[in-house]
């Protein structure tokens, strides 16, 4: 396989779907429902790590997938072996994506229950893309969310994504690096992610470099001669304080300063980093290298970083690997894809799924999510989900209420209401241009800044409200009552 950017890699991902999507598609086709219009929403039910919010990511890869939907002859041959009839196979052979698609832009904070992707179009088409909608958004949103937590824990210190070798497969490494960058990381160890996405690839040496030389000092001097303008030395191969830092200081003096440069940093990858970093800082400062940064790695996450800084660690930058790229503390982003409306006689009829588990009851109808911002503070007040054709009049007071505990009501004034979704496709044609990844990263930082500290804290975050408009709430209650009565 040639490793190129998705859409250029020479691989057809159309068949990356759950098999039941094909069995249902054949059933729709044979029942004369191929062109029946349906609306599906993707949303998620709970924030990873019991956090206050998640970060939307993966939209660009979803667009690339939808733009290249074509069933190849290999796909057709496989489905023929699986027993699908020729009429249905001809339908797939001539398949052309024709749906409308909306999504929340990448980098936006998102909350449980609100539609982050909406697909409207022929039911077969909307059903066949279910797996890839979920796969693109679930994975990258999970990693972007974890990265953003780690970056916030670092309190302004830079965070680098160092997890390529621990990712779940090569796509996990490549797209995980992309998502981590959106979430706030400054760069990645994954070289391919710089080639494909322009994310700075960062890294210096491994312990094997030091071990290849007769002495640690020889290794440091050789590296410093190679990279005098960007010299960061790994100081924990043998003994950080007795040899690593003293040898690094000597190498800086011998090979970096005479060439007119200043040392970039030292990295520590083991031991009591908090204690050692304090000692390292003192030794470096006394040697005249106050500007030499201390980089820490070694199975870090947001909680370890936070505790290190509380305890006074003298770390300037963090390299975070396996616990970021795998989101190991909460490795599943539980996005789901549910039918919410079906066209009948030219009108969209709301659909609802009911469950004994109240959290799994869906919100019906073709919808639009909004975010309300306080004009005085610029902070987000709440999200409101309305019917698609509803508008929120910013010139008048607007009452919001908890859709479960309906007596909890608040009237907001002096606010701005912004639709959360943008249209990606219109009748199968892409109408959206993805921003530059640097813009998306900056946008993410700015949007997280609109959330109150109570929402962004790690422990027991305040529940950010996602409310329903009165009209949508009424429609949901009417369907719940009708379904309950019919049973």
Query: Cβ neighbours of residue 130 under 8 Å, at least 6 residues apart?
Result: 17, 18, 21, 40, 337
pLDDT of residue 12: 87
Please state, rounded to an integer, the average pLDDT across all residues of the chain.
95
Query: What percent of the chain has pLDDT above 70?
Result: 97
* Nearest residue to 129 (alpha-carbon basis) of 31, 57, 9, 25: 25
- Pinpoint the alpha helices (H) of 154-272: 170-183, 191-197, 207-211, 216-226, 245-251
* Nearest residue to 403 (alpha-carbon basis) of 456, 449, 367: 367
In the three-class reduction of DSSP (H, G, I as helix; E, B as strand; rest coil), residue 404 is classed as: coil
Q: pLDDT tens, 323-339?
A: 999 999 999 999 999 99
Query: Cβ neighbours of residue 230 under 8 Å, at least 6 residues apart?
Result: 264
CA pair distance 120, 135, nearest whole angstrom: 19
Q: How are the residues of the chain apportioned to helix, strand and coil, as percentages rounded to the nearest 5?
A: 40, 20, 40
pLDDT of residue 31: 95
Query: Cβ neighbours of residue 91 under 8 Å, at least 6 residues apart?
Result: 29, 34, 124
Q: pLDDT tens, 433-470?
A: 999 999 999 999 999 999 999 999 999 999 999 999 99
pLDDT of residue 357: 85
Query: Cβ neighbours of residue 54 under 8 Å, at least 6 residues apart?
Result: 44, 47, 48, 109, 110, 111, 141, 142, 144, 145, 333
CA pair distance 33, 45, nearest whole angstrom: 30
Would you say residue 30 has pLDDT above 60? Answer: yes
Would you say residue 5 has pLDDT above 60? Answer: no
Phi, psi at 439, each rounded to 5°:
-65, -40
Q: pLDDT tens, 220-267?
A: 999 999 999 999 999 999 999 999 999 999 999 999 999 999 999 999
Q: pLDDT tens, 399-438?
A: 999 999 999 999 999 999 999 999 999 999 999 999 999 9
pLDDT of residue 9: 52
Please, are residues 223 and 231 in contact by the beta-carbon 8 Å criterion?
yes
CA pair distance 310, 255, nearest whole angstrom: 36
Q: What is the mean pLDDT of residues 374-394?
A: 97
Q: pLDDT tens, 150-204?
A: 999 999 999 999 999 999 999 999 999 999 999 999 999 999 999 999 999 999 9
In the three-class reduction of DSSP (H, G, I as helix; E, B as strand; rest coil), residue 268 is classed as: strand
End-to-end CA distance of the chain: 53
CA pair distance 267, 371, nearest whole angstrom: 42
Chain centroid to CA 303: 20
Phi, psi at 308, each rounded to 5°:
-60, -45
- Taking residue 100's Cβ as centre, other Cβ atoms within 10 Å add up to 19
Chain centroid to CA 21: 25
Phi, psi at 44, each rounded to 5°:
-125, 160
232 DSSP β-pair partners: 265
pLDDT of residue 446: 98
Phi, psi at 293, each rounded to 5°:
-80, 150
CA pair distance 361, 349, nearest whole angstrom: 17
Beta strands (DSSP E) in 255-366 are 265-268, 293-296, 317-320, 335-344, 347-350
Angle between helical axes of 302-310 and 273-286 (0-180°, round to 10)? 50
Domains of the chain: 19-143+331-486 (3.20.140.10), 203-313 (3.20.20.70)
* Nearest residue to 124 (alpha-carbon basis) of 421, 271, 309, 339: 339
Specify burial of residue 309 (Cβ count, 10 A radius: 0-12, 13-18, 19+): middle
Query: Cβ neighbours of residue 37 under 8 Å, at least 6 residues apart?
Result: 120, 121, 122, 123, 342, 343, 348
Would you say residue 486 has pLDDT above 90? Answer: no
Q: pLDDT tens, 290-303?
A: 999 999 998 999 99
CA pair distance 216, 222, nearest whole angstrom: 10
């Amino acid at each position: 396989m040639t490793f190129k950017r998705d859409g250029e890699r020479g691989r057809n991902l159309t068949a990356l779907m759950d098999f039941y999507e094909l069995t249902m598609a054949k059933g729709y086709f044979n029942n004369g429902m191929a062109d029946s219009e349906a609306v599906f929403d993707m949303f998620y039910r709970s924030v990873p790590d019991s956090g206050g919010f998640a970060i939307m990511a993966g939209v660009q890869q979803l667009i690339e997938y939808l733009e290249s939907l074509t069933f190849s002859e290999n796909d057709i041959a496989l489905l023929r072996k699986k027993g699908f009839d020729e009429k249905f196979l001809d339908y797939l052979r001539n398949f052309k994506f024709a749906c409308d698609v909306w999504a929340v832009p990448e980098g936006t904070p998102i909350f449980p229950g609100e539609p982050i992707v909406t697909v409207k179009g022929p039911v077969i088409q909307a059903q066949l893309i279910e797996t890839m909608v979920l796969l693109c958004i679930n994975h990258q949103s999970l990693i972007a969310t974890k990265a953003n937590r780690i970056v916030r824990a670092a309190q302004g210190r830079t965070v680098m994504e160092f997890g390529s070798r621990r990712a779940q497969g090569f796509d996990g490494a490549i797209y995980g690096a992309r998502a981590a960058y959106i979430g706030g990381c400054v760069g990645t160890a994954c070289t391919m992610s710089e080639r494909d996405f322009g994310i700075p690839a960062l890294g210096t040496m491994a312990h094997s470099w030091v071990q290849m030389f007769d002495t640690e000092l020889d290794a440091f001097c050789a590296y410093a001669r190679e990279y005098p303008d960007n010299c960061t030395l790994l100081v924990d191969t043998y003994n950080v304080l007795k040899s690593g830092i003293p040898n690094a200081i000597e190498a800086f003096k011998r090979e970096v300063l005479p060439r007119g440069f200043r040392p970039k940093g030292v990295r520590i990858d083991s031991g009591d980093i908090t204690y050692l970093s304090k000692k390292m800082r003192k030794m470096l400062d006394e040697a005249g290298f106050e500007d030499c940064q201390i980089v820490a790695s070694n199975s870090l996450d947001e909680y370890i970083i936070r505790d290190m800084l509380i305890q006074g660690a003298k770390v300037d930058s963090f390299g975070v690997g396996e616990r970021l790229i795998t989101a190991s503390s909460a490795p599943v982003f539980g996005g789901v894809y549910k039918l919410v409306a079906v066209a009948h006689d030219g009108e969209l009829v709301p659909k609802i799924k009911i469950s004994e588990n109240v959290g799994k009851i869906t919100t019906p109808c073709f919808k639009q999510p909004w975010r309300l911002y306080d004009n005085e503070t610029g902070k987000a007040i709440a999200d409101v989900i309305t019917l698609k054709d509803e508008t929120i009049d910013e010139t008048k007071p607007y009452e919001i209420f908890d859709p479960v505990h309906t007596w909890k009501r608040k009237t907001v004034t002096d606010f701005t209401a912004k639709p959360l979704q943008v249209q990606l496709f219109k009748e199968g044609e892409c109408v959206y241009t993805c921003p530059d990844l640097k813009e998306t990263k900056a946008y993410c930082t700015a949007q997280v800044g609109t959330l109150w500290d109570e929402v962004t804290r790690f422990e027991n975050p305040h529940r950010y409200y996602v409310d329903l408009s009165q009209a949508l709430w009424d429609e949901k209650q009417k369907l719940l009552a009708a379904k309950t009565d019919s049973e």
